[in-house]
Amino acid sequence: MTTLRNPTQRIPHEMWVRMLIDPVCAAYVIYGVTLDAFQAARLRYYWWVPQLIDSAGVSSGKTFVIWLYVNLRAILIPDQEIAVFYPVYEQGKNTFWNYYTEMQTKFGDRAAVFQAQLGKPAQFDAGDEKGGDGTLHGSACYKAFFKNGNKILMPAPSFMKDAVTQASLRLNVMVIEEWPEIDAMSDGINKQLISRVTRASWNQFHPVWCNHILYSGHAMSLMHPSARRYKAHLRAEKRGDPRFANITSSYKDYSNRACYTGKTFQETYRVESTIEADRSTTSQSEWLGKGFGIWGALVKGLFTEQALLQCRANGKLRHVTPVLSRNQFEQIHFST
């Protein structure tokens, strides 16, 4: 049973089971949110797949669905510790955490059930302040607490550089936003973050009850450092491993279905002028990933990306570093 609105109001067992099975139904009941078809499919993938990479393009509403997902886990599943990581702390504050405020100002009474689930902070650390959205705002971590004892954390990125001080942190769910940027900068995900998702769960073999890791970020070139993780997920998915999946979507997926504004999803969220301005300043190969969520080869250059990848592989076998660009040649030449 889960408390709703007040201590005397509870979700019947049948409804709780229904929402555990279908998070789209839960989003409607708890937040008053109706999702577009492709967003509903995305939320169901998040809910049922423990190891997921979402390479969605810009303006596809990915961050909002992630916010719905982690808060649904905190409300519906007992004994959950959840963390969301961003490479830039301010980015997380202005995008992800801002939805706690929007649930009050924009959604209002439609999200009354959600508001009833937020609990009082379990503890105050140095520098913590209670925000108007009902959560704690700290200089090193933002925190949301729930009446069932669960909590959601958004630590500052310095956590990835200082794992020793966070050695006691154990999580059930981890979301890593803009993970290709982190993979390009360091090996922090493999060495420090993944090992945190080891908190005990009610059933580690069940796709919903077990621990989850969600990677979210734009698709990149296959030569990008993050492509190694993407390819590993892809291989596991092709083997038929139900624990792994790769999904993607773009702003073009918004449909002509009516949304809460009275307009269609496409009219409300597909802002063509802004998207075209962004596209006009982005290279064709970069826009494939940023705009459409497509992992692929570079489309310009003297050599194909496959040729460059093979060159790297041949160099690795011979224990030499192949020179693949003029800048790389000049760095080697002038440093010797």
Q: Render pLDDT for 132-157 as a digit per residue (tens, 0 to 9).
A: 788 989 888 999 999 999 999 999 87
In the predicted model, is pLDDT for residue 198 greater than 60? yes
* Cβ-Cβ contacts under 8 Å for 48 (sequence gap 6 or more): 207, 208
In the predicted model, is pLDDT for residue 328 greater than 80? no
Residues comprising the chain, all counted: 336
Of 11-20, 61-70, 171-180, which gets the smallest average pLDDT?
11-20
> 109: which strand partners?
none
Question: Taking the domains of the chain in order of start, what are their residue ranges?
Answer: 3-297, 301-336
Mean pLDDT of 113-125: 80
CB atoms within 10 A of CB 192: 17
What CATH superfamily is the domain 3-297?
P-loop containing nucleotide triphosphate hydrolases (3.40.50.300)
Q: Which two tokens stand for residue 220?
A: 């990149």
Q: Which two tokens stand for residue 210?
A: 């077990």
φ/ψ of residue 151, rounded to 5: -150, 155
Start-end of H helices in 106-154: 112-117
Of 40-44, 121-125, 162-166, 271-275, which gets the smallest average pLDDT?
162-166
Determine how β-strand 3-4 pairs with β-strand 6-10: antiparallel
Helix axes 23-31, 13-21, angle to 10 degrees: 120
φ/ψ of residue 141, rounded to 5: -165, 135
pLDDT digits (tens, 9 = 90+) for 285-326: 788 888 999 897 654 554 555 666 677 777 778 877 776 665
Determine how β-strand 151-155 pairs with β-strand 141-145: antiparallel
